[in-house]
Amino acid sequence: MSKRKTYKELKAAIKKGDIETVKNKLDGFDVNFMPFTGSPLLVYAIEAKQDDIGEMLVQKGADVNAEGWASDCPIMNAIESKLPKTVEAICQDPNLEAKGMMVIPNTGSASVTVLRTEKNDALIDLAQKTGHPQIIESVYNQRIRSLERKAEEIKENAWICPNKRSAKVSQQAQALKQVRNRNLKQFKP
């Protein structure tokens, strides 16, 4: 069977929410295959609001940074579509890049950093707008892990004041943990 035909069958199964067919068709198929005019399967799963299938695709190695035909960012679309399992899987993926994302200091009273996309939407703000605690926590946790990794890299690789620079990034991670905890309290009974 051709890759294009399998791809079309996978798209149809994703649209229907047929996770068993998707599992079977993915056996031996490149989860990241994309024809010239198509979008990645992960993008289709998110567009179809198929949370379990999106999560499974990420676990099977779907490229969490791959954009669709309309340059859709999977993490942003998964947050906007309120797909907690897919968001968590993407946030846990070590290959999630800060492609097109920058750390911008918050101008509020707390010295907290947020992840902003090139469209200047904060992923954390976007997650909070969903009102979905699991999505909010996943996005915060991903950002905290990213800051903690950055602090370790600075400590290991920086030549000039590595401890001071690493401590500053660690403080940002701690401040973000406090903000996360405060924001999640509103969802607890």
Residue ranges per structural domain of the chain:
1-96, 98-189
Q: What is the pLDDT of residues 12-67, one digit of tens each?
A: 999 999 999 999 999 989 999 988 777 899 999 999 999 999 999 999 999 998 87
**Cβ(90)–Cβ(78) under 8 Å?**
yes
- What's the pLDDT at 156? 83
Q: What is the dihedral of CA 14, 18, 20, 22, to 10 degrees?
A: -10
State the CB neighbour count (10 A cutoff) for residue 95: 11
Q: What is the pLDDT of residues 108-158, one digit of tens each?
A: 433 333 444 444 346 777 888 888 889 988 888 888 888 888 888 888 887
CATH code at 1-96: 1.25.40.20
Helices then strands, each counted (H, E), the chain = 9, 2
**Cβ(151)–Cβ(173) under 8 Å?**
yes
